[in-house]
Structure 1
Amino acid sequence: MIIVTGANGQLGRMVAERLLERVPAEEIGVSVRDAEAARDLGARGVRVRRGDFADPDTLPHAFEGASKVLIVSTGTTGEAAVRGHRAAVAAAAAAGAKRILYTSHMGASPSSRFVPMPDHAATEEALQRSGVPFTSLRNGFYTSSAVELVRGALETGVLAVPEDGPVAWTAHADLADAAVLALTDEVLDGLSPALTGPEVIDMAGIAEILTRLTGRPIRRVVVSDDEYRAQLIDHGVPESSADLLVGLFAASREGDFAPADPTLADVLGRPVVRVADYLKSALTTRG
């Protein structure tokens, strides 16, 4: 049985849906914090069980009978995230999984200034110590995050963010397809190469794309880290979230999210989604 954690989240749900196209439903299980929210998967024959990384006692039942476990990284950061990921790795090993897969990040590093990246690095260490064959999917930066970063600029015409660097933006759908292939065909092993979109684009480039797509000028303005943080807090963003976003730009300046790598397209056997196409679709959906 293939177990997918976090199947109520965006990436985990995409993986579960795509697995259903390749694997009989009775060979798929999902481990979710809210089993009721995954009831539709249960109706299609998927085994749905409650599993919470923050409550390790729930994991043996959730992972029971696992041949492979995909650990989708949590939305928390810091010690809580690392502790939860380590508990999931240990539970997968104890369940007898023959391979443990984890959704890591191309920027995973103990020294990164973007808070989730040291967490990913620590989890990769746990995978290496587990004694179980593993695949750490070093995903590129989600293109959906770019949509969130520019949301205000679409209203004001000004994209005012800190100095940044190039980012290999990558679509959730492409990463979900790669995860499914890793689960079913074992196309990747150990620490994967960076799984990215086909190009690196900075915020100035994003502003140019938005200008073309919307037909109205989107001007890129550089503000200091401190000014950006203060603006976020003034708009009600919690300090911890503001610090995280400031760290994102600092890490991009240091090259944590570049360069682009061809591995994802090679694994999928097709072109991957370009930033302009993703943004065009997002703007169409937004109306």
Structure 2
Amino acid sequence: MIVVTGATGGLGGATVEHLLKRMPADQIGVSVRDTTKAQHFADRGVRVRPGSYEDPAALRDSFAGAEQVLLVSGNDPAADMVSLHRNAIEAAVAAGARRILYTSQHGAVPGNPYRASDFHIATEAILGDSGVDWTALRNGAYGPLDQVLGPWQRTGVIAQPEDGPVPYTDRADIAEATAVILAGDRSFDGPITLTAPTAVTFHDFARIASDLTGRTVKRVRLDDEQWVADQLTIGVPEQMARLLLTFYQAARAGYFAEAGPLLAELLGREPRTAADRLAAQIA
């Protein structure tokens, strides 16, 4: 059995949908905070059990019988994510899982200024000490492009801090590739990188947007503190704004510049590019 956590979220839910195309439903389980939100999976024969990273006992029951467990990482900047992930890893080991897969982050290496890197690095270290086989899926940034680029369609300007190349990746492609790994015969040990084929900058986005819309879209670089101040004025909490700022700082330092071929290999096709995603957003 394969058990997927976070299956009522975007990535976990999409991964389960792809698993259902590849294997019988009774070989799939999900571990979710609210089982009522996973009724659509239960109706199709998926085993649904309650579980949260705060409740190790519930997790052990939720993971029972699993050969593989997919741990979808948490992202609450106010929580102790390392301890919560440790709970999940220890529960998977106690339940007898033979392999744990963890949704890590592209560029999760020491020195990366993006603060989320720290808990991914620490979680990968816990996996390495767990005594079971493990895979860290270092996924490319797959957040919505409107969050990344700001209100450029209204303003005609991409006004963000200085950045660097990032292979912005489609979450749907990540989910499909994750299901391919889980349901397939090929094993991956340790960290692997799953990204779109090409890294782009905000300057590239401005050019792409101009070509797609037929109007000039400008790239304006904002001072870091000015950008934070602008975020506060539109209601973004300062803690979140400063977390996002560290992403841009990491990008400009080159921590996300590498784009790998593995995602395309797993999908058997080219992943969606930044241009593809931007065109879909415009449409």
Give the TM-score category using the shorter length: over 0.9
Alpha-carbon offset, residue 78 of structure 1: 6.4
Q: Is 1:92 matched with 2:92?
A: yes
Q: Is 1:146 matched with 2:149?
A: no
Distance 2:56 2:16 in 1: 22
Alpha-carbon offset, residue 93 of structure 1: 0.6
Distance 1:188 1:158 in 2: 44
Distance 1:281 1:43 in 2: 32
1:213 alignment counterpart: 212
Distance 1:116 1:65 in 2: 31
Alpha-carbon offset, residue 158 of structure 1: 1.3
Distance 2:67 2:163 in 1: 42
1:120-148 Cα deviation digits (max 9, x unpaired)? 11110011000000111111111x44331
2:168 alignment counterpart: 169
Q: How many residues align?
A: 283
**1:191 is matched by which residue type in structure 2?**
G
1:74 alignment counterpart: 74
**1:213 is matched by which residue type in structure 2?**
L
In 2, are the aligned partners of 1:168 and 1:200 still within 8 Å (CA)? yes
**1:200 is matched by which residue type in structure 2?**
A
Alpha-carbon offset, residue 188 of structure 1: 4.2
Instruction: State which drifts further: 247-256 or 54-63.
Output: 54-63
Alpha-carbon offset, residue 228 of structure 1: 0.4
**2:92 is matched by which residue type in structure 1?**
A
Runs of 4+ in structure 1 off by over 4 angstroms are: none
2:156 alignment counterpart: 157
**2:226 is matched by which residue type in structure 1?**
E
SS in 2 for 1:180: helix
Distance 2:87 2:257 in 1: 30
1:3 alignment counterpart: 3
TM-score, normalised via structure 2 length: 0.96
SS in 2 for 1:259: coil
Q: Is 1:104 matched with 2:94?
A: no
Tell me the percent identity. 44
In 2, are the aligned partners of 1:229 and 1:242 still within 8 Å (CA)? yes
For residues 169-248 of structure 1, what are the structure 2 equivalents within 5 Å?
169-248=168-247
TM-score, normalised via structure 1 length: 0.95
Distance 1:136 1:232 in 2: 32
In 2, are the aligned partners of 1:78 and 1:115 still within 8 Å (CA)? no
In 2, are the aligned partners of 1:65 and 1:96 still within 8 Å (CA)? yes
1:239-278 Cα deviation digits (max 9, x unpaired)? 1110111111001011111111112112222211111111
Alpha-carbon offset, residue 190 of structure 1: 2.1
Distance 2:134 2:78 in 1: 22
